[in-house]
Structure 1
Amino acid sequence: MALWGLGSVTGLYAQKPVSGRPNIIVVVTDDHRWDALGVAGNPIVKTPHLDSLANRGINFRNAYVTTSICAVSRASILTGQYLSRHGINNFVKNFSPQAFSQTYPMLLKAAGYTTAFIGKFGVGNSPPAEYFDYWMSTEPEGNDRQPPYVTLDANGKEIHDTDTIGRAIRKFLGQYGTSGPFCLSVSFKAPHELDGDPPTYVVQDRYKHRYREEVMPAPRTASNKYVERLPPFLRSEANIGRKRWEGLLGTPALFQENVKNYYRLITGVDEVIGSMVATLRQLGIADQTAIVFLGDNGMLLGEHGLEGKWYGYEESIRIPLLIDYAGLPSDLRGSKPEIMALNIDVAPTILALAGLDPPGTLQGHNLLGVLEGVVPDRDDFFYQHYFMGSPKIPQVEGVVSRRFKYMNFMEHGYEELFDINRDPRETTNLIDRRKYRHELDALRERLVELKKAAR
């Protein structure tokens, strides 16, 4: 059995030259909640190619983000660090050259990998194109760098962003796929809605009628009974989550159409994943290529009367996380571990796949080492979200453990405590229950400890 330790280069490829190390493809989707995959038990959304990745590789069933917003989470994925350390706390702040040199693509480049980026970079307003060997961004120039969903291709024909990314993947693999180890980072805009007032979901024409006959089940916590339990600052229409709910999900017809659109965009991504894997096989490099797939954060689709992310509810902070690689130990292939995995674990895990030591600044764990018992597992983690603040996006921080979730909306002195084992939909706030006073006090103390450690 291979050892994937974090403290020294003990990975399967540690003693091999660069030419013997795996290619690595990292695929990130935008606002992709954990249960929006067929393999996650979703009976509606069709994701056969992603399901195949999960069934061949490792499907982390309890994967979370440490901050549920695109730019911050993407920075955490690249750096293996909490927001408190990497400092990317908005959409325009850029990495310093020194900080970017410690991201997984640049560490792999320094180790001899060809590095490429395709899609929505999503961090800062000055993308680091010059640091990559291959760069194809779908972002426009300027401070508003959200990619449009529809652009014109080289022939002047309209093309969807997901298909643009698919073409770019095939082009890169055709040029570089057999030239030595590469690290390709792919970042989709899908299934993120197109920002506007109200936002809209822009779907590929060929998928516009997919799921037409399906009925999307309404979340239990979308009813007025649960919405009325929210504190006034979350129920307020000044809260972006409520405003987006009204524009996208606020009537039964809107809910049906836009949840279907969300699934349609995910199925579009799945098609590109299938094409990418087919290309790897055609080139004869599928077995030499590790694929890491994850969402940058989750998405509330009406739960608690909200649409969006930001807050600490399960639908917002849980993500899909898959690793498929023929070189994995046989006992890990096809596994569904229950360990608590985080977005900050992606960078150290990628470095372990390449046989590289992580810098001491990384805060995440090598997940392969955790699974093989050479890296300690975690029992809880620190959640933080500070962007914007009240009234639009109230700030929140807290602790998620294996059983309990404690969240503190600091601006309002409002706290939540949920038993996520017994109450996974987070319907009952236990904060005032005397029975749970011991757990509450312990979590408050743990928050102070974890917040300090995250700096």
Structure 2
Amino acid sequence: MQKTLIIIALVLVSTCAALAQQAKRPNIIFLLTDDHRWDALGAMGNKIIQTPHLDALAKRGILFRNAHVTTAICMVSRASLLSGQYMSRHGINDFGTDFKPEALAQTYPALLKKAGYKIGFIGKFGIGVKNQPDTLFDYWAAKKEGQPQYVLVNASGHTIHHTDSVGKDIAQFLDRFAGNEAPFCLSVSFKAPHELDGNPPQYPVQERFKTLYEDVKIPEPLTAAPQYWDSLPAFFRTDQNIGRDRWKPLLSTPELRQQTTREYYRLISGVDEVVGNVVAQLKNLKIDQNTLIIFMGDNGFSLGEHGLEGKWFGFGESIRVPLIISGGALPKSFQGKSSSQLALNIDIAPTILSFAGIPVPSAIQGYDLLAAEQKKRSARKDFLYEHTYLGSPRLPKVEGVVSGDLKYMLYTEHGYEELYDTAKDPHETVNLAKRSSKKPTLEKLRKRYEELKKEVK
């Protein structure tokens, strides 16, 4: 009898331990870079840029090779990241609009907090200015401003680079919240590698990175050749276009293009250094095996392609971004995986919520990327791209449909169409919209565009 009771007790202890382990919810860290194009990452095949820590994350997790944003401008994309919604639904389309309280309550940080998570935000919030939601977070390290400076001055009068400041705040957050009974979700937004706006714009880098890439020759982009700018329509091909205006002081000669690209890469290498420190601190705190890390860019960036600097438009350099899901909390079956699924910024919120075991609100339009990887749901075949901020001539409004092998873009103010076969023409060198042989394809994508426009509202 006594022996039987001992066995039962051991079974109960084992069961309780297993249940406790299951109940231990994962910590989540979401890392966001600003203006980070898809191919500015070693893991994506760039043989010049040095991003060893991000590359290591990719090797230990899922590298999404076909990640995009639904709108390539910071405030809209960030609102989509937090809400899981297209701009057409969340309605944030300028630099002054905030989340309304009821909309903020449905963002992934607010839903995680309601479920018992400790939540933190560090860096550039990028949505609104006056009413940024600092009181929502248990830890807030962000100035209420639209675009932070790179060189910051602390309370004691010492200067620090924004990337290094973000790194210090991450370390402080982890020391404070690691090991607590409640799990945490930390959202981090670097300013890097965004330019420092000005006339001319600049790329201030930390002193220790200033000679990095100095002796490296940056290849000329194919579409940097003048013929590609010259082939664009007259309403677009104007010096008032912001993309062209910023191209002049930064990319208009081969020498400028070399220097600007080096500075851009240096800022990304600075972010990579912080990522390495974060991974090391997670291990030291012994929470690395229960932490999920997601890394993404808020939009892409043209470094001279099509005669442009910046994002906004529908070209691949503008809308494609790096995306990695990694960390010890990720199931081993996902580790070392390369995914070709069409992943979007609106997928981040539902992926985070699902991983934390929290129901995804019906208003969210993205989906759980991990569920798609497991074939538990179908991966998307296309998506709507929309950019309606400002308008011509500074930023001509553009909308369209992006699929795995085709791209349709409509400049809505001018009725001008673009059609690219991105499978055969990945650099988008030939606009097929006026070719009679492509009329059936064009008609099909026009129809799909109208369908998606209705669906996303």
Q: Distance in 2 between matches of 1:339 and 1:174?
A: 36
The match for 2:135 is 130
SS in 2 for 1:46: coil
Matched to 1:128, the amino acid is P
SS in 2 for 1:441: helix
Q: Distance in 1 between matches of 2:166 and 2:331?
A: 31
Q: Distance in 2 between matches of 1:19 and 1:138?
A: 36
Task: Give 1:379 shift.
Answer: 0.6
2:48 touches 2:216 (CA, 8 Å); kept in 1?
yes
1:360-387 C-alpha deviation (Å, 9 max, x unpaired): 0000010011011111211100000000
2:108 touches 2:349 (CA, 8 Å); kept in 1?
yes
SS in 1 for 2:235: helix
The match for 2:10 is none
SS in 2 for 1:323: strand
Q: Distance in 2 between matches of 1:139 and 1:247?
A: 29
Q: Distance in 2 between matches of 1:205 and 1:404?
A: 43
1:228-262 C-alpha deviation (Å, 9 max, x unpaired): 10111222000000000001111222111111000
Change (3 A) 1:383 1:16: farther
After superposition, residues 89-168 of structure 1 pair within 5 angstroms as 89-125=93-129, 126-140=131-145, 145-168=146-169
Matched to 2:340, the amino acid is E
Q: Aligned to 1:51, which of 51, 55, 75?
A: 55
Q: Aligned to 2:420, which of 418, 421, 425?
A: 418
Unaligned runs of at least 5 residues, structure 2: 1-18
The match for 2:178 is 177
Greater C-alpha Rg: 2
1:130-185 C-alpha deviation (Å, 9 max, x unpaired): 00011000454xxxx21010011243211100000000000111111111300000
Mean Cα displacement is larger for which, 287-296 or 195-204?
A: 195-204
Q: Distance in 1 between matches of 2:167 and 2:175?
A: 12
Task: Give 1:328 shift.
Answer: 2.7
Q: Distance in 1 between matches of 2:331 and 2:137?
A: 31
1:256 equivalent to 2:283? Answer no
1:139 touches 1:148 (CA, 8 Å); kept in 2?
no
1:33 touches 1:315 (CA, 8 Å); kept in 2?
yes
Q: Distance in 1 between matches of 2:22 and 2:399?
A: 41
1:351-407 C-alpha deviation (Å, 9 max, x unpaired): 111011100000001001101111121110000000000000000000001111000
Q: Distance in 2 between matches of 1:281 and 1:268?
A: 21
Moved over 4 A (4+): 15-19
Matched to 2:136, the amino acid is Y
Matched to 1:133, the amino acid is D
SS in 2 for 1:398: strand
| CA root-mean-square deviation | 1.2
Q: Distance in 1 between matches of 2:163 and 2:330?
A: 29
The match for 2:40 is 36
Matched to 1:443, the amino acid is L
1:403-435 C-alpha deviation (Å, 9 max, x unpaired): 110000011111100000000000000001111
Matched to 2:81, the amino acid is I
Q: Aligned to 1:287, which of 277, 286, 289?
A: 289
The match for 1:3 is none
The match for 2:89 is 85
Matched to 1:118, the amino acid is I
Q: Distance in 2 between matches of 1:200 and 1:155?
A: 26
Matched to 2:163, the amino acid is T
Task: Give 1:86 shift.
Answer: 0.3
After superposition, residues 338-349 of structure 1 pair within 5 angstroms as 338-349=340-351
The match for 1:400 is 402
Matched to 2:242, the amino acid is I
1:96-127 C-alpha deviation (Å, 9 max, x unpaired): 01000000000000000000000000001221
Q: Distance in 2 between matches of 1:123 and 1:429?
A: 35
Mean Cα displacement is larger for which, 330-339 or 389-398?
A: 330-339
2:40 touches 2:265 (CA, 8 Å); kept in 1?
yes
Q: Distance in 2 between matches of 1:210 and 1:155?
A: 30
Q: Distance in 2 between matches of 1:191 and 1:139?
A: 20
Matched to 1:158, the amino acid is T
1:18 touches 1:113 (CA, 8 Å); kept in 2?
no
- Normalised by the length of structure 1, the TM-score is 0.94
Q: Distance in 1 between matches of 2:341 and 2:93?
A: 28
1:18 touches 1:181 (CA, 8 Å); kept in 2?
no
Q: Give the total of aligned pairs.
A: 437
Q: Distance in 1 between matches of 2:54 and 2:235?
A: 38
Q: Distance in 1 between matches of 2:154 and 2:277?
A: 19
Q: Aligned to 1:222, which of 210, 221, 224?
A: 224
Unaligned runs of at least 5 residues, structure 1: 1-14
Q: Distance in 2 between matches of 1:273 and 1:190?
A: 13
Q: Distance in 2 between matches of 1:227 and 1:84?
A: 30
The match for 2:15 is none
2:205 touches 2:263 (CA, 8 Å); kept in 1?
yes
